[in-house]
């Protein structure tokens, strides 16, 4: 596996692969890799001939500086894991290069980003869309793979790809869960042992509640601080806090 830190070198590698005529799959991540990420990598390996995984904790999508500060960054462990999976390239860009413009240019969306996580995470989706657009332009893969746990994010990225005529196909992949139902997330590493025991109740409640109001009542009673439970696009969504850790999940209705 080749570890690539600069945009120039990543673009150079892509040109080499294009000359070889191979297809390329891309999995953008913020690191702290888990089985959900690895499922995306496996899907990319099945559908393309070369696979690139990026690891970049994007500062512009954090509306809470403390959240950014405490976000897990086990880089060496992540690279060892990717190498063991025979990933072809690990793209490790630096913030000073990704935001050489000091974030003067940003991508905004005017409708979908205003529901669910939008109202309580100001600036999050602009930061996310901006960095994803940059990454997709640098890697210029045939396909990019994203999980459905962040369903709103997936829909926004798919919409951005259509709006800007991006050549990369955006592929949505099913949420990967722990055996107790908890959606896999890098943020799960931040839970205490007691919180980890309680966390799967989000998924169970979303599935079993008769209404979104009942789901809010149940989660609150269990000890969650509920941000929202809403229903859109034939799915039920929730965001709730355990301590300072914000968890999200969604299920098909």
Helix (H) or strand (E) holding 249: strand 245-252
Helix, coil or strand: residue 241: strand
Residue 7: predicted pLDDT = 98
Backbone angles phi, psi at 231, to 5 degrees: -125, 125
**CA-to-CA distance for 41 and 26, rounded, in angstroms?**
8
For residue range 179-201, list pLDDT tens digits in order. 999 999 999 999 999 999 999 99
For residue range 69-82, list pLDDT tens digits in order. 999 999 999 999 99
The answer on 67 and 147 residing in a single domain is: yes
Residue 45: predicted pLDDT = 98
179 inside domain: no
- Which of 188, 183, 196 shows the shortest CA–CA distance to 149? 183
Q: Which ranges of the chain does DSSP label H, i.e. alpha helix?
A: 7-20, 35-47, 65-70, 75-84, 95-98, 124-139, 151-163, 193-198, 201-208, 212-222
114 inside domain: yes
The answer on 220 and 159 residing in a single domain is: no
Q: What sign does the dihedral 136-142-146-148 (CA atoms) show? A: positive
The answer on 205 and 162 residing in a single domain is: no
118 inside domain: yes
The answer on 191 and 158 residing in a single domain is: no
Q: Please identify which residue in the block is written with the tokens 């940059």.
A: 134
253 inside domain: no
Tokens at residue 207, please? 């599935």
Residue 141: predicted pLDDT = 98
**CA-to-CA distance for 199 and 220, rounded, in angstroms?**
12
What distance lies between CA 238 and its chain's CA centroid?
16
The answer on 107 and 133 residing in a single domain is: yes
Please count the other Cβ atoms lying within 10 Å of the Cβ belonging to residue 79.
19
The answer on 191 and 99 residing in a single domain is: no
**CA-to-CA distance for 169 and 40, rounded, in angstroms?**
14
Residue 19: predicted pLDDT = 98
Tokens at residue 25, please? 């799959």
The answer on 161 and 49 residing in a single domain is: yes
In the predicted model, what is the mean pLDDT of the chain? 97
Structural domains of the chain, count: 2
The answer on 87 and 50 residing in a single domain is: yes
Helix, coil or strand: residue 45: helix
Query: At 221, is the pLDDT very low, low, confident or very high (cuts 50, 70, 90)?
Result: very high
The answer on 149 and 58 residing in a single domain is: yes
The answer on 204 and 80 residing in a single domain is: no
For residue range 2-15, list pLDDT tens digits in order. 999 999 999 999 99
Backbone angles phi, psi at 151, to 5 degrees: -65, -40
The answer on 91 and 121 residing in a single domain is: yes
What is the CATH number for 73?
Answer: 3.40.50.620
48 inside domain: yes
Residues classed as catalytic: 37
For residue range 118-169, list pLDDT tens digits in order. 999 999 999 999 999 999 999 999 999 999 999 999 999 999 999 999 999 9
* Domain with 239 in it: 186-247
- DSSP letter for 24, please: E
Helix, coil or strand: residue 106: coil
The answer on 130 and 191 residing in a single domain is: no
Domain boundary among 173, 208, 228: 173
């Amino acid at each position: 596996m080749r570890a690539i830190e600069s945009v120039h070198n990543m673009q150079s590698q892509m040109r080499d692969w294009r000359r070889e005529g191979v297809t390329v799959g891309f999995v953008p991540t913020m690191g702290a890799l888990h089985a959900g990420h690895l499922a995306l990598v496996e899907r990319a390996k099945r559908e393309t001939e070369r696979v690139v995984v990026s690891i970049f904790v994007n500062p512009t999508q954090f509306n809470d500086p403390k959240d950014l500060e405490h976000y897990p960054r086990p880089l060496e462990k992540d690279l060892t894991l990717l190498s063991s999976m025979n990933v072809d390239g690990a793209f490790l860009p630096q913030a000073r290069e990704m935001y050489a413009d000091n974030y003067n240019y940003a991508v905004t969306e005017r409708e979908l980003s205003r529901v669910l996580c939008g109202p309580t995470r100001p600036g999050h989706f602009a930061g996310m869309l901006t960095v994803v657009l940059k990454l997709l332009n640098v890697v210029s893969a045939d396909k990019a793979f994203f999980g459905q746990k962040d369903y709103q994010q997936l829909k926004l990225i798919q919409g951005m790809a259509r709006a800007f005529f991006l050549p990369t196909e955006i592929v949505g992949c099913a949420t990967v869960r722990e055996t107790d139902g908890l959606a896999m997330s890098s943020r799960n590493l931040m839970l205490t042992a007691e919180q980890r025991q309680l966390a799967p109740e989000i998924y169970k409640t979303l599935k079993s509640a008769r209404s979104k109001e009942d789901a809010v009542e149940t989660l609150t009673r269990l000890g969650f601080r509920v941000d929202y439970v809403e229903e859109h696009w034939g799915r039920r969504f929730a965001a709730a806090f355990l301590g300072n850790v914000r968890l999200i999940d969604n299920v098909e209705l």
